[in-house]
Amino acid sequence: MLKIFIDPGHGGKDTGALGNGLQEKDLTLSIALEMRRILQNEYESVSVQLSRTSDIAVPLSERAAKANRWGADVYVSIHVNAGGGTGYEDYIYEGLSDRSTTARIRDIIHEEVIRATGFRDRGKKKANFYVLRETVMPAVLTENGFIDRKEDAEKLKDPAFLQKIARGHVNGLEKAFHLTKKSDSNDLIRVIVDGKQIGVYEEKENVLKQVEYYLGKANKIELERVKR
């Protein structure tokens, strides 16, 4: 069982960066929750913990300690940048070699996030950040766009784009750790009512909502599995 610890930066009174009507703490939580959803729904033998699942303040020391106590295999800290730039960058601890396991994991996540989002590539960097220094497992900190850059902020306001960021991170984890997808995790479900397609859905909950809505109203309800 692979243990993945996801750390959405900031929270509570610590808003993180601000810009264009956005708060970093909200964006990082949205991305982290979507990463958890994807990992739990689509992959086998994966356990996920988050440093926070709501808008609360969590000290850096507690974030690192929680991951260490749990025995996480990898630590991913999610952030959004500020300062007028644009694009994506990520960090590992400054004391690590470019040939380390952590660097290898970072390199894979880096490429997958760039591919998924189309962000400008700002490079792979190192720093003495607390959560990178004090965690005992491979740890990567990602900076996903600039909240104070209009072009980036417009993307970050779109829930679908935040899902792309999350998907890029998960794709990186899949490749880095050779995760196995559940047999039907890639399939979509087509709902057909009285011979007419109502919609195609990824989430089973949405399929059930449609079935419940049309029960008693339609003569025939059909479900078809659709390959992506």
Catalytic residues: 143
Closest CA to 91 of 167, 7, 162: 7
**141/87 Cα distance (integer angstroms):** 15
Are 187 and 226 a contacting pair, CB within 8 Å?
A: yes
